[in-house]
């Protein structure tokens, strides 16, 4: 076994132990309609959570126990803030103290209808500036397939640390449906695609999880599109409708099977 593999295994075991015992410190970047519900739910499950946002009005409201997101009941927010399990900050340097960092910044559509990744890039650059061995970085912002590998990973590795050797990287698409009282942050399955199977299996302890290793887009789509929420996301997704897929015929067949209810598993491309 190589030194790199040994180090990676040791780092992952330490991280998993901290997650399982709820000693992991969780950072959520972006405290909007995706990030704040996620941060509150992590805190409600017993994790110590820091919410990061450049908008100090948001961090101030959080620290005062005041919710500005309709899907986050003020009583729940106030409870975790008073318990010392959630705080807001604009000091990105404090990302260095996190074990897990979840990036939930917006990706508004440009005039060309493709996602604007400028907020993602700024968030990743802030993480890269303080990145340390053993951290798990999760991209949750809505984006196109390949962003994790082609944009996020190179930025994080730009200072010398390597993914899967020194730190861990995953993609977990946001599943928030604002105003939906049936499928909430707690009751909607969380899907995680890690660079390795080990990270894909890492439990977050806060929401039901279906975790799989990343695969090529067409083969994984069969498992990716099974539940109703994901099928609805596909129907609404301009990005997917416009994507150039190398195996379009196979993909079309898979979509037909999924929408006909013949597929039974869930998977996730990066």
Tens of pLDDT, residues 214-229: 333 434 444 444 444 4
**Topology classification of domain 3-214:** Rossmann fold (3.40.50)
Ranges of each domain in the chain: 3-214, 216-270
pTM value?
A: 0.74
Q: What's the CA gap between 48 and 98, in Å, rounded? A: 9
Terminal alpha carbon distance of the chain: 27
For 29-63, write each residue's pLDDT tens digit: 999 999 999 999 999 999 999 999 999 999 999 99
Q: Return the bridge partners of 209, or none.
A: 190
In sequence order, the 6+-apart residues with CB closer than 8 A to the CB of 234 are 225, 240, 255
Task: Say what the pLDDT of residue 5 is.
Answer: 66
Question: Are 120 and 152 a contacting pair, CB within 8 Å?
Answer: yes
Q: What's the CA gap between 193 and 114, in Å, rounded? A: 22
């Amino acid at each position: 076994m190589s030194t790199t593999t040994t180090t990676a295994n040791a780092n992952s075991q330490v991280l998993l132990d901290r997650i399982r015992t709820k000693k992991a410190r969780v950072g959520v970047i972006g405290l909007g309609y995706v990030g704040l519900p996620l941060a509150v739910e992590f805190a409600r499950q017993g994790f110590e959570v820091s919410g990061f946002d450049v908008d100090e009005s948001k961090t101030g409201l959080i620290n005062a126990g005041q919710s500005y997101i309709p899907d986050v009941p003020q009583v729940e927010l106030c409870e975790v803030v008073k318990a010392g399990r959630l705080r807001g900050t604009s000091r990105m340097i404090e990302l260095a103290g996190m074990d897990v960092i979840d990036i939930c910044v917006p990706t508004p559509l440009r005039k060309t209808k493709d996602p604007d990744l400028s907020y993602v890039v700024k968030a990743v650059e802030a993480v890269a500036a303080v990145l340390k061995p053993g951290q798990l970085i999760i991209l949750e912002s809505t984006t196109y397939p390949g962003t994790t590998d082609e944009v996020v990973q190179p930025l994080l590795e730009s200072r010398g640390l390597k993914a899967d050797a020194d730190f861990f990287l995953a993609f977990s698409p946001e599943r928030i449906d604002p105003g939906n009282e049936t499928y909430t942050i707690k009751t909607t399955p969380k899907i995680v695609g890690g660079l390795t199977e080990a990270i894909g299996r890492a439990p977050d302890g806060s929401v039901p999880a279906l975790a799989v290793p990343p695969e090529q887009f067409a083969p994984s789509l069969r498992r990716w599109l099974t539940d109703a929420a994901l099928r609805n996301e596909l129907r609404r997704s301009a990005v997917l409708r416009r994507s150039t897929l190398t195996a379009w015929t196979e993909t079309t067949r898979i979509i037909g099977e999924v929408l006909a209810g013949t597929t039974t598993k869930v998977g996730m491309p990066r």
